[in-house]
Chains A and B, each alone.
Chain A
Amino acid sequence: MNISQEDARKSLSTVQDVIVQTHRAIASAYANPLLILWGVLCIIAFTAAHFYLAHAFYIFMVMNVVGGIGTAVICWVFHSKAPIQDSSYPRIGWRIALLWILLYVYVNIWLFLLAPFSGLQCNAVICTAAMFAYIVIGLWFDSPFMIVLGLAVTVATLVGFYLLTPYYCLWMALTCGGATLGTGLYIRLRWR
C-alpha cells in the first residue's frame, strides 16, 4: 500500500480532529445545559446580592440548592441522550461533575479552616477556584477557549475584588455569570 507524505499527514490531521470532536461531544452533552443553568443562577444571585447584601448568605445558599437540584435533573435527563455510554465506569461527564464537587468541598474546607473571612473574600476565592476548574477542563479537552475564559474571569475577579469593591457583586454577575452563560451558549452552538 503506497501513500504520499501529504496523504499521511492529512489522515493524521483527520484522526486528531475526530478525537477532539468526540471528546467535545461527550463534554457538551452535559456541559452546555449545566453552564447555562449556573450562568443564569450566578447572574441572578450576584445581582440580588448587590441590592440585598445583608441577605447574601441566604441568596447564595438558595442558588447552590437550586443549582444542585438542577444539576441532578439535567444529568438524569441527559443521561439517555448522551452520545457515549460506558459499560462499567463513570463517563467523562460524570468525572467533570465529580471534579466540580471535589473542588467545591476542597475550597469550603479551606475556607472553614482558615476562617474568619469576609463575604467578599469567600466569594472571590470560590470564583477563582471555579475558574481554575475551567482551565483544567480546557486542558483536558484541548480547548484553548475554556483556558482563556478561565484566566480572563480570574483576572476579572481580582479586578473586581481590588479595584471595584463597592460594585463587586454586580461586576461578578457580569463577568462570572455572564462568562459561564456565554460558555454554555458557545458550546451549544459550536461544539455540536
Chain B
Amino acid sequence: MAQLDNIIHQPVRLQIMSSLVSLDRNEQVNFTYLRKLLKVTDGNLGAHLTKLEEAGYIKSKKTFVARKPRTFIKATGKGRDAFNEHIAALKEITHSGKK
C-alpha cells in the first residue's frame, strides 16, 4: 500500500514536484517560471525548494544564460519515486475512503 509523503503533501511543494516530474529526466525548470506558475514570492518559493532539496527530492543549479544569472531546478530519481508513491496513495484514498 502506497504511503503519503509529508514533505510533498504541502500544496506549494506538491505543485513544484508536479511541474518537475512532468518533465523528462534531463529537463530542468527555470526558478522564475516556477514562481510565476505558483504565484508565490521569491522567498516563499526558495524556502519550499530548500525543504525539497534537503529531502533529496530536487537538485538546483545556478548558471548564466546570455550573461544573466539563472537558477534551474530538476527532480531527482528519489524525488520522482516519492512523488509517484504520493500520487498512488492519493489515488488509493479517492478509491477507498479515508486513510
Contact = CB atoms under 8 A, between A and B. Distances in A.
Interface of A: 1-5, 8-9, 11-12, 14-15, 18-19, 21-23, 25, 80, 82-89, 91
Contact of A85 (B4, B14, B28, B66): B28
Interface string B58-96: 000000011000001010000000000001001101100
Contact of B29 (A11, A15, A22): A22
A29 B87 CA distance: 28
Nearest to A29: B33
A117 to B, nearest CB: 40
Nearest to B33: A83
A86 B74 CA distance: 10
Nearest to A8: B93
Given A3-B4, A3-B99, A9 B24 contact: no
Contacts of B65: 80, 85
Interface of B: 4, 6, 9, 11, 14-15, 18-19, 22-24, 26-30, 32-33, 37, 65-66, 72, 74, 87, 90-91, 93-94, 97-99
B30 A85 contact: yes
A5 B33 CA distance: 31
Contacts of B24: 86, 89
Nearest to B16: A18
Given A85-B28, A88-B26, A19 B18 contact: yes
- Most chain A CB within 10 A, of B23, B65, B74, B91, is at B23
Given A83-B33, A84-B28, A5 B23 contact: no
A14 B18 contact: yes
A3 B87 CA distance: 13
Nearest to A4: B98
Contacts of A21: 19, 37
B90 A11 contact: yes
A83 B90 contact: no
A22 to B, nearest CB: 5
